[in-house]
Structure 1
Amino acid sequence: MIALWDTTATEVVTALASERQSAGGTSGLALNLVVIVDEKGEREAEAALTLAAQQHPCRLLIVVRRDNHHTDPRLDAEIVVGGRLGPCEAVVMRMYGPLADHAESVVMPLLAPDVPVVTCWFVPPPHCAAEDPLGAFADRRISYSARSQDPVATLAVRASDYNPGDTDLCWTRITYWRSLIASAFDTATADAASVTITADAADPSASLLAGWLGGRLGIRPTIADTEVVRNSEHLPAIKAVSINLTNGDDITVTRDEAGHTQLRRTGFPDRSQILNGRTLGELLAEELRHLDPDQPYAAALSYCTDDAVSSSVKEVS
């Protein structure tokens, strides 16, 4: 590990090259991962990134914005290659003063060549991720609407400024729900007549699930607001999804506080499984598995906010 205090971008680039050489050099980097965190969430972010890096060897560039009211710009950097942050090349950059608003001037020289760039915000996302200086050069931009002051309202902002490559960890949170519900329709013989989602109405994941179901089934789901258990990220967890079919059959998925989930379908045996809430690191690791535009997310975001996200999104894969 190398620690540099009150340093410059040039010195950080030189020190990173030196640390890579001392560690015997690394190869096989899958991507550059640029992560924006605040001082309060730094420890939680590092734990999540360590888990994600175990599955996706990367050059990890962590931007910690600290005292923005500091009159003089200052950069403190910590360089770790194959250390506490997992099998990656990591640079933790703590930025003070005006430098915190121009972090791209330090980040861009540190990007590994010839591999994709993913930018992730563990803080409230910017107004337009694709136009943010740290998102403009990224192939994929991952925000987390749940970190916003008004998460559901943030979805409308995400819809208005959507660009291919944008996605949201609140969408990733419902992957298992979408898989389970989709599997139930393998045996369905009629269209859906109504859909009810039992969840906290302030949960952005519930809104995105409603958008996905609405777009796929052609009807507008109802969110039945209720107090629900909190998942491992201390966020509301969806409690149930009920679908009534036009032939009178029902499809219901329920989840209790212990994570036990039951799928009930008219005329079929019940199916049970554990659907635990996933950690921030597990959600991020899933998102890093694919770098193509997330069309299902775009369509769900469009439907749940009544916004035309992109005229190019004609169908949900």
Structure 2
Amino acid sequence: MIALWDTTATEVVDALAAERHSAGGTSGLALNLVVIVDEQGERDAEVALTHAAQQHPCRLLIVVRRDGHGDTARLDAEIVVGGRLGPCEAVVMRMYGPLADHSESVIMPLLASDVPVVTCWFVPPPPCAAEDPLGAFADRRITYSAHADQPVAALRVRAEDYNPGDTDLSWTRITYWRTLIASAFDTATAPAESVTIHGSASDPSVALMAGWFGTRLGLTPTIRDAEVVRDSPHLPAIKAVSFQLEGGDEIAVTRDEDGRTLLRRTGFPDRIQTIKGRMLGELLAEELRHLDPDQSYEAALRECTRPGGLCQAEETA
């Protein structure tokens, strides 16, 4: 590990090269991962990034924007190769003053060549992620609307500034739910004529789930606001989803406080499985497995934020 205080971008590049040589380097880098955090979220972010790096060896560039950084530009950097942050080449940079608003000047020289770039915001993202200096050069841009002051309203911003390659971890949170529900429809005897979601109306994952149903089933779901006990803050606040099929058959998925999920279908035995809450690092690792544009996310996002849609109704309320 190398620590540099009040340093420059050139010195950081040289120190990273020296540390790679000393540690033998990290072979087979899969990508560059640029992550923007604040002081309060730095520790949780490092835990998540360590988990993600176990599955995706990367050059990890963490930008910590210091609170109350004043008028003097300053850069402190910590370089770790194959250390506490997992099998990656990591540079943790704390930026002060005007430098915090121009961090791309430090990041660009540090990017590993010939591998994709993913930029992830663990803080409120800029209005248009694809046009932000740290998002413009990225192949994928990952936000997390659940951390916004108004999470559901934040989805409208994501829809307005959407560009191919954008995604949101609020969408990743419902992967298990979508998989289970899609498998239930493999045995459906008729099309669905109504959908009801029991969950928190203030959860962006619930809105995206409703948007997904709209694109897949051509229906506008009813959301019944319900208090949901979760074993992880990164699990969507969904208690149950039920479908009424044409002809009277029903499909229902219900999750209890212990994570046990009951699938009920007319004419079939009940099925029980567990949907456990996932940590932030698991969500991020899932998103890093595919770097192509997520068309399903785009469609669900646009459906739930269309004029008169669920997010607009939430903002009006």
Which TM-score applies when normalising by structure 2? 0.95
Q: Which residue of 2 aligns with 1:57?
A: 57
Describe the superposition over 1:57-92 as per-residue Cα deviations: whole angstroms up to 9, x where unpaired.
Answer: 000000000035411100000000000000000000
Q: Give the counterpart letter for 1:170 in structure 2.
A: S
Question: For the residues of structure 2 that align with 1:69 and 1:86, how far apart are their CA atoms?
Answer: 29
Q: Tell me the SS of whatever aligns to 2:131.
A: coil
**Structure 1 residue 234: deviation in Å?**
6.4
Q: Which residue of 1 aligns with 2:114?
A: 114
Q: Which residue of 1 aligns with 2:2?
A: 2
**Structure 1 residue 26: deviation in Å?**
2.1
**Structure 1 residue 233: deviation in Å?**
2.3
Contact 1:229 1:236 in 2 (8 A): no
Q: Which residue of 2 aligns with 1:199?
A: 199
Q: Give the counterpart letter for 2:271 in structure 1.
A: R
Question: For the residues of structure 2 that align with 1:176 and 1:169, how far apart are their CA atoms?
Answer: 13
Question: For the residues of structure 2 that align with 1:233 and 1:76, how far apart are their CA atoms?
Answer: 32
Please state which structure has a larger fraction of its residues in helix.
2
Q: Give the counterpart letter for 1:292 in structure 2.
A: D
Q: Which residues of structure 2 form unaligned runs of 5+?
A: 308-317
1:146 aligns with 2:150: no
Q: Which residue of 1 aligns with 2:89?
A: 89
**Structure 1 residue 226: deviation in Å?**
1.2
**Structure 1 residue 25: deviation in Å?**
2.1
Q: Which residue of 1 aligns with 2:16?
A: 16
Question: For the residues of structure 2 that align with 1:305 and 1:245, how far apart are their CA atoms?
Answer: 26
Q: Which residue of 2 aligns with 1:312?
A: none
Contact 2:206 2:236 in 1 (8 A): no
Q: Which residue of 2 aligns with 1:157?
A: 157
Could you say if the C-alpha distance between residues 68 and 105 of structure 1 is closer, same or farther in structure 2, counting changes exceeding 3 Å?
Answer: farther
Question: For the residues of structure 2 that align with 1:151 and 1:281, how far apart are their CA atoms?
Answer: 20
Q: Give the counterpart letter for 1:276 in structure 2.
A: K
Could you say if the C-alpha distance between residues 174 and 235 of structure 1 is closer, same or farther in structure 2, counting changes exceeding 3 Å?
Answer: closer
Q: Which residue of 1 aligns with 2:221?
A: 221
Q: Tell me the SS of whatever aligns to 1:186.
A: helix
Q: Give the counterpart letter for 1:66 in structure 2.
A: R
Question: For the residues of structure 2 that align with 1:84 and 1:255, how far apart are their CA atoms?
Answer: 36
Question: For the residues of structure 2 that align with 1:68 and 1:189, how far apart are their CA atoms?
Answer: 60
Question: For the residues of structure 2 that align with 1:233 and 1:92, how far apart are their CA atoms?
Answer: 26
Q: Which residue of 2 aligns with 1:181?
A: 181
Equivalent runs, 1:32-47 vs 2, <5 Å: 32-47=32-47
Q: Give the counterpart letter for 1:261 in structure 2.
A: T
Question: For the residues of structure 2 that align with 1:208 and 1:294, how far apart are their CA atoms?
Answer: 13
Contact 2:174 2:236 in 1 (8 A): no
Describe the superposition over 1:199-247 as per-residue Cα deviations: whole angstroms up to 9, x where unpaired.
Answer: 0000000000000011100010011001111341266521100010011
Q: Tell me the SS of whatever aligns to 2:87.
A: coil
Runs of 4+ in structure 1 displaced over 3 angstroms? none
Q: Which residue of 1 aligns with 2:251?
A: 251
Question: For the residues of structure 1 that align with 2:112 and 2:264, how far apart are their CA atoms?
Answer: 49
Q: Which residue of 1 aligns with 2:74?
A: 74
Q: Give the counterpart letter for 1:112 in structure 2.
A: A
Which TM-score applies when normalising by structure 1? 0.95
Contact 2:235 2:277 in 1 (8 A): no
1:282 aligns with 2:296: no
Contact 2:234 2:278 in 1 (8 A): no
Q: Tell me the SS of whatever aligns to 1:300.
A: helix
Contact 1:228 1:236 in 2 (8 A): no
Q: Which residue of 1 aligns with 2:27?
A: 27
Q: Which residue of 2 aligns with 1:315?
A: none
User: Greater CA deviation, 132-141 or 61-70?
Assistant: 61-70
Contact 1:37 1:63 in 2 (8 A): yes
1:126 aligns with 2:155: no
Aligned length: 307
Q: Which residues of structure 1 form unaligned runs of 5+?
A: 308-317
Could you say if the C-alpha distance between residues 301 and 231 of structure 1 is closer, same or farther in structure 2, counting changes exceeding 3 Å?
Answer: farther
Question: For the residues of structure 2 that align with 1:58 and 1:38, how far apart are their CA atoms?
Answer: 21
